[in-house]
C-alpha cells in the first residue's frame, strides 16, 4: 500500500470542503478523481500534498502518517503536486525552472559532488542538466528553454509544470486538472508524457472533470460530490453509477 | 564570474593615482560595498527585506574590537568571535521571524526592532561599550604576506588593498553562491515561495541561511569599517546605516552582482563631487535617489545590461 487516506476531512468555517474521505492507492496505479466544480477535488489534493492542514483524518504514506506535514517534507518523501493554474517563477527562464525543480534529485546526490557543484555547477550538475533537457524534450518545451517563463502560452505553462514535477522524481504524482485549457494536440502530448511516467513506475493521481480523458487512463476512479465520496471502483462502473450520473446531469438518467 | 574582471583596474589604480582623497573614498566604497553585497544576497537573492544588516555591521565592529581588547587576540581571531556571535544572533532572530512566517514589511519591522534592541545595548551598556562616547580603536589589523612576514595595516595604501581584496573575496563568494543550487533556491523563494515548497525546497532553512550569510558579510564590513576609521560608536547600528545600504543596492541594481558596488561608489563619492551646504546636501541626494529609482527601476547596472542586450538584439 503506497498511500492510504483515512477519514480525511477539511472544514473552512461552516463549509465542509472534504468530508470523511477514505481510499487507498497501490504502487504503479493510476487513480482518477472526478466530480463537478466545487466538489472538493483540488482541496483533497492540497491536503495530500500538505498545502492545507486537514481538520481531521489521517494520510499514511508507506505507513508513515504525513497529515499536516509541511509541503517540502511531503515532496521530499516523493509526493509531488502540479497546479491547475500554472505556478511559475515568471522572470526565470524555462530551463532555470526545471533546474530549480531538480533540487530534490540534487539532494540525493553524494555530498562530495555538492561541494564540486558549488565551485563549478557546470561540472557538478552535468547529469541534472541532461535530465532537465530530457524532461523538456518530452514535454515539447526544448525550443523554449532559454525564454522567460512569462512568455509561454497557457498550454506550455502547464506542460512546464509537468516537466518540473517530473524533475522531482515523484513516486506519486498528483495532477490537478492537467488537461484543462489544453488544445487537442496538447492533450495528446500530455497523454504521451503520462504514459511515459507510468512506464517508469510513477503512480499517478489525476483529477479532472473531463471524464473521457480520465476514463481512458485510470485503473481506479473515485467520484466526489460536495466533498463526499459517492462512488469508487473501475472507471466505467463509476461513470455508470446512478449517483454519479445524477451529480453530473442533475437528475437520474434513464437511457 | 567574468563580470568580476571589472575589478582588475581597481588593483592597478594606486599605480596611477596617488591622491589620498581618491583612495580614501574608494576604501569607504569597498567597505560599504561589502555591506551592500551582503544585503543583496538576502534581499535581491531570497527576497527578504531585512533591516538587521546595520546591527550585524555594528556587532561586527564592536565584538571584533572588544574581543581583541579583552582576550588579547589578533584582529582576525577577534573577527571570528564576531562571526560566531552574529551567526548565533541571526539564527535566533531568523528562527523567530521565519517560524512565524513573517514576510515583507512585517519581516522588515521585526528585524528593525531587533536591530534597535542591539543598538540600545551598545548605547546603554556603558561599562563595556563606553556608550554614546564610542571607542577609539588604536589597534590595527595585521596580515601575513609572503616575503615580508606579518604586516600592520596602517597607511592608506595597505588599507586600500586589504579592503579591495576583502571585497573581491566577498564578490567571488556571492557569485559562486548565487549560481549554485543555493542561489537557485533563493530565487525560487523570492519569486514563488509556495511553489518552491511543493518542489521540496525547505524554504525555512534557506531563508535562515540567506539571512545568516548576509549578516556575516555585514559583520566583515563592520569590522573593517571600525578599524579603518579608528572609531566605533552606537550609530553604526542605526537604521540610517541600514537604509544607506538599501539605497546603494536599489541605485546600483537589485539582484545584480556589481550593482551594490556601483551603488556604493556613487553614494560614497557623490558628496565629494558636489560641494553643497550640509542641509542642502541631504535634500539633493534624496532627489537624485528618487529620480534614479523612478527612471531606472533596475538600477544603474540593470539599465546598462538592458542597453547592451538591446544592442546585441538589434545587431
Which of A168, A186, A217 is the C-terminal boundary of a domain?
Answer: A168
Q: Are A62 and A37 in contact (CB under 8 A)?
A: no
How many Cβ atoms sit within 10 Å of the Cβ of residue A236? Answer: 11
To the nearest 10 degrees (0 to 180), the angle between helices B259-273 and B278-295 is 150
A127 or B201: which leads in pLDDT: B201
Q: Which of B173, B193, B204, B213 minimizes the C-alpha distance to B90?
A: B213
Pairwise CB contact (< 8 Å): B185 & A76: no
> What gap in Å lies between CA B291 and CA B287, rounded to an integer?
6
> What gap in Å lies between CA A236 and CA A221, rounded to an integer?
9
Backbone angles phi, psi at A146, to 5 degrees: -90, -5
Q: Which of A23, A47, A34 minimizes the C-alpha distance to A177?
A: A34
Q: Which of B177, B4, B46, B199 minimizes the C-alpha distance to A115?
A: B177
Would you state the pLDDT for residue B164?
A: 96
B259 or A123: which leads in pLDDT: B259
- Hey, of B2, B175, B177, B181, which one would you mutate to test binding to chain A, going by the most A CBs within 10 A of its CB? B181
Q: Does A53 touch chain B (CB under 8 A)?
A: no
Query: What residues of B are in contact with residue A158 (Cβ under 8 Å)?
Result: none
Would you state the pLDDT for residue B100?
A: 92
Mean pLDDT of chain B: 91
Q: Which of A61, A54, A42, A77 minimizes the C-alpha distance to A2?
A: A61
A18 lies in some domain: yes
Pairwise CB contact (< 8 Å): B184 & A100: yes
A83 lies in some domain: no
A85 lies in some domain: no
Domain enclosing residue A5, as ranges? 1-78+170-255
Would you state the pLDDT for residue A112?
A: 64
Q: Does residue A33 sit in the same domain as residue A52? A: yes
Is the predicted pLDDT of residue A253 greater than 60, yes or no? Answer: no
Cα distance from B313 to chain A (closest Cα, Å)? 14
Interface of A with B in 121-140 (CB under 8 A): 121, 125
Would you state the pLDDT for residue B275?
A: 73
Cα distance from B220 to chain A (closest Cα, Å)? 22
Query: Furthest-apart CA pair in chain A: how many Å?
Result: 69
Give Cα separations from A200 to A24, A49, A83, A103 (angstroms): 21, 21, 22, 20
Query: What residues of B are in contact with residue A83 (Cβ under 8 Å)?
Result: 195
Q: Does residue A179 sit in the same domain as residue A152? A: no
Which of B181, B182, B200 lies closest to A72 in CB terms? Answer: B200
- Cβ burial, residue B15 (10 Å; 0-12/13-18/19+): exposed
Residues B103-107 have a mean pLDDT of 90
To the nearest 10 degrees (0 to 180), the angle between helices B156-179 and A111-119 is 120
Confidence of residue B287 (pLDDT cuts 50, 70, 90): confident
Confidence of residue A124 (pLDDT cuts 50, 70, 90): confident
Confidence of residue A255 (pLDDT cuts 50, 70, 90): very low
Q: Does B198 touch chain A (CB under 8 A)?
A: yes
A183 lies in some domain: yes
> What gap in Å lies between CA B183 and CA B197, rounded to an integer?
15
> What gap in Å lies between CA A49 and CA A69, rounded to an integer?
9
Q: Does B1 touch chain A (CB under 8 A)?
A: no
Domain boundaries, chain B: 2-276
Q: Does residue A140 sit in the same domain as residue A199? A: no
> What gap in Å lies between CA B185 and CA B192, rounded to an integer?
10
Which of B198, B202, B203 lies closest to A81 in CB terms? Answer: B198
pTM of the model: 0.92
Cα distance from B107 to chain A (closest Cα, Å)? 21
Query: What residues of A are in contact with residue B181 (Cβ under 8 Å)?
Result: 103, 106, 114, 117-118, 121, 125
Percent of chain B with pLDDT over 90: 65
Confidence of residue B39 (pLDDT cuts 50, 70, 90): very high
Confidence of residue B257 (pLDDT cuts 50, 70, 90): very high
Q: Does residue A150 sit in the same domain as residue A214? A: no
Interface of B with A in 148-177 (CB under 8 A): 176-177
Residues B133-146 have a mean pLDDT of 89
Q: What is the pLDDT of residues A5-49, one digit of tens each?
A: 999 999 998 888 999 999 999 998 899 998 888 888 899 999 999
Flag the least confident range among A46-50, A237-241, B22-26.
A237-241
Q: What is the pLDDT of residues A141-161, one digit of tens each?
A: 999 999 999 999 999 999 999
B1 or A199: which leads in pLDDT: A199
Would you state the pLDDT for residue B312?
A: 61
Q: How far out from the chain centre does Cα B17 lie?
A: 26
Would you state the pLDDT for residue B297?
A: 80
Which of A136, A168, A200 is the C-terminal boundary of a domain?
Answer: A168
Is the predicted pLDDT of residue A250 greater than 70, yes or no? Answer: no
Which of A72, A83, A117 lies closest to B201 in CB terms? Answer: A72
3-class SS of residue B145:
strand
Domain count, chain A: 2
Q: Does B199 touch chain A (CB under 8 A)?
A: yes
Q: Does A45 touch chain B (CB under 8 A)?
A: no
Residue B167: enclosing H or E segment and its boundaries? helix B156-179
Q: What is the pLDDT of residues A181-222, one digit of tens each?
A: 888 888 888 988 988 898 888 999 998 877 777 777 788 889
A43 lies in some domain: yes
Q: Does residue A149 sit in the same domain as residue A198? A: no
> What gap in Å lies between CA A202 and CA A205, rounded to an integer?
10
Which residue in A has a C-alpha nearest to residue B200's C-alpha?
A72
Q: Does residue A206 sit in the same domain as residue A98? A: no
Cα distance from A152 to chain B (closest Cα, Å)? 17
Is the predicted pLDDT of residue A79 greater than 60, yes or no? Answer: yes
Query: What residues of B are in contact with residue A71 (Cβ under 8 Å)?
Result: 194, 197-198
Would you state the pLDDT for residue A251?
A: 57
Pairwise CB contact (< 8 Å): A89 & B188: yes
Which residue in A has a C-alpha nearest to residue B204's C-alpha?
A72
Return the bridge partners of A203, or none: A172
Q: Does residue A60 sit in the same domain as residue A175? A: yes
Q: Does residue A35 sit in the same domain as residue A161? A: no
Give every strand in the sheet of A64-65, ordered side by side.
A15-25, A3-12, A56-61, A64-65
DSSP A179-200: TTT--HHHHHHHHHHHHHHHHT
Cα distance from B181 to chain A (closest Cα, Å)? 7
How many Cβ atoms sit within 10 Å of the Cβ of residue A213? Answer: 21
Query: What residues of A are in contact with residue B184 (Cβ under 8 Å)?
Result: 96, 99-100, 103
Q: Does B126 touch chain A (CB under 8 A)?
A: no
Confidence of residue B296 (pLDDT cuts 50, 70, 90): confident
A180 lies in some domain: yes
Is the predicted pLDDT of residue A254 greater than 60, yes or no? Answer: no
Pairwise CB contact (< 8 Å): B201 & A119: no
Confidence of residue A121 (pLDDT cuts 50, 70, 90): confident
Mean pLDDT of chain A: 88
3-class SS of residue B208:
helix
Which residue in B has a C-alpha nearest to residue A85's C-alpha?
B195
Residues A161-183 have a mean pLDDT of 91
- Hey, of A45, A82, A100, which one would you mutate to test binding to chain B, going by the most B CBs within 10 A of its CB? A100
Is the predicted pLDDT of residue A137 greater than 60, yes or no? Answer: yes
A84 lies in some domain: no
- The alpha-helical segments, DSSP class H, found in B181-258 are 181-191, 193-198, 203-229, 239-252
Would you state the pLDDT for residue B283?
A: 80
Which of A150, A168, A186 is the C-terminal boundary of a domain?
Answer: A168
Query: What residues of A are in contact with residue B195 (Cβ under 8 Å)?
Result: 83, 87-89
Residues B236-265 have a mean pLDDT of 92
CATH at A65: 3.40.50.300
B315 or B109: which leads in pLDDT: B109
Query: What residues of B are in contact with residue A89 (Cβ under 8 Å)?
Result: 187-188, 191-192, 195
Amino acid at each position: 500500500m503506497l498511500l492510504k487516506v483515512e477519514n480525511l476531512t477539511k472544514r473552512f468555517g461552516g463549509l465542509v470542503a472534504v468530508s470523511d474521505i477514505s481510499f487507498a492507492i497501490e504502487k504503479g496505479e493510476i487513480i482518477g478523481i472526478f466530480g463537478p466544480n466545487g466538489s472538493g477535488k483540488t482541496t483533497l489534493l492540497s491536503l495530500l500534498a500538505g498545502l492545507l492542514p486537514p481538520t481531521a483524518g489521517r494520510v499514511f504514506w508507506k505507513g508513515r502518517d504525513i497529515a499536516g506535514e509541511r509541503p517540502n517534507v511531503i515532496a521530499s518523501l516523493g509526493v509531488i503536486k502540479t497546479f491547475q493554474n500554472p505556478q511559475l517563477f515568471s522572470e526565470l527562464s524555462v530551463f532555470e525552472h526545471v533546474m530549480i525543480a531538480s533540487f530534490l534529485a540534487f539532494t540525493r546526490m553524494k555530498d562530495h559532488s555538492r561541494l564540486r557543484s558549488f565551485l563549478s555547477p557546470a561540472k557538478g550538475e552535468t547529469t541534472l542538466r541532461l535530465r532537465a533537457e530530457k524532461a523538456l524534450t518530452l514535454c515539447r518545451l526544448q525550443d523554449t528553454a532559454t525564454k522567460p517563463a512569462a512568455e509561454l502560452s497557457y498550454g506550455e505553462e502547464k506542460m512546464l509544470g509537468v516537466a518540473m514535477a517530473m524533475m522531482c522524481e515523484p513516486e506519486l504524482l498528483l495532477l490537478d486538472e492537467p488537461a484543462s485549457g489544453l488544445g487537442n494536440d496538447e492533450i495528446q502530448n500530455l497523454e504521451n508524457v503520462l504514459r511515459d511516467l507510468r512506464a517508469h513506475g510513477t503512480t499517478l493521481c489525476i483529477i479532472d472533470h473531463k471524464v473521457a480523458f480520465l476514463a481512458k487512463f485510470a485503473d481506479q476512479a473515485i467520484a466526489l460530490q460536495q466533498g463526499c465520496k459517492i462512488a469508487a471502483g473501475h472507471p466505467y462502473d463509476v461513470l455508470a453509477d446512478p449517483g454519479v450520473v445524477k451529480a453530473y446531469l442533475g437528475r437520474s438518467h434513464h437511457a | 564570474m567574468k563580470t568580476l574582471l571589472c575589478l582588475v583596474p581597481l588593483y592597478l589604480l594606486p599605480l596611477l593615482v596617488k591622491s589620498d582623497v581618491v583612495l580614501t573614498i574608494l576604501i569607504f566604497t569597498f567597505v560599504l560595498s561589502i555591506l551592500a553585497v551582503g544585503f543583496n544576497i538576502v534581499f535581491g537573492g531570497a527576497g527578504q527585506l531585512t533591516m538587521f544588516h546595520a546591527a550585524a555591521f555594528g556587532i561586527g565592529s564592536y565584538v571584533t574590537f572588544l574581543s581583541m581588547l579583552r582576550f588579547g587576540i589578533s584582529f582576525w581571531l577577534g573577527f571570528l568571535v564576531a562571526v560566531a556571535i552574529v551567526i548565533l544572533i541571526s539564527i535566533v532572530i531568523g528562527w523567530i521571524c521565519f517560524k512565524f512566517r513573517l514576510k515583507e514589511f512585517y519581516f522588515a519591522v521585526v528585524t528593525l526592532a531587533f536591530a534597535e534592541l542591539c543598538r540600545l545595548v551598545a548605547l546603554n551598556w556603558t561599562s563595556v561599550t563606553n556608550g554614546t562616547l564610542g571607542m577609539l580603536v588604536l589597534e590595527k589589523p595585521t596580515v601575513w604576506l609572503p616575503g615580508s612576514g606579518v604586516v600592520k595595516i596602517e597607511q592608506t595604501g595597505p588599507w586600500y588593498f586589504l579592503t579591495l581584496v576583502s571585497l573581491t573575496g566577498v564578490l567571488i563568494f556571492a557569485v559562486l553562491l548565487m549560481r549554485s543550487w543555493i542561489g537557485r533556491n533563493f530565487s525560487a523563494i523570492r519569486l514563488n515561495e509556495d511553489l518552491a515548497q511543493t518542489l521540496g525546497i525547505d524554504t525555512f532553512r534557506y531563508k535562515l541561511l540567506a539571512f545568516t550569510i548576509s549578516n556575516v558579510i555585514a559583520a566583515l564590513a563592520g569590522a573593517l569599517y571600525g578599524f579603518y576609521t579608528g572609531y566605533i560608536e552606537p550609530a553604526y547600528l542605526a537604521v540610517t546605516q541600514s537604509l544607506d545600504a538599501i539605497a546603494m543596492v536599489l541605485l546600483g541594481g537589485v539582484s545584480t552582482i556589481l550593482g551594490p558596488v556601483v551603488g556604493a561608489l556613487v553614494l560614497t563619492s557623490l558628496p565629494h563631487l558636489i560641494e553643497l551646504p550640509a542641509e542642502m546636501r541631504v535634500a539633493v541626494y534624496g532627489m537624485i535617489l528618487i529620480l534614479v529609482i523612478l527612471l531606472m527601476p533596475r538600477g544603474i547596472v540593470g539599465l546598462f545590461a538592458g542597453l547592451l542586450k538591446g544592442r546585441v538584439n538589434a545587431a
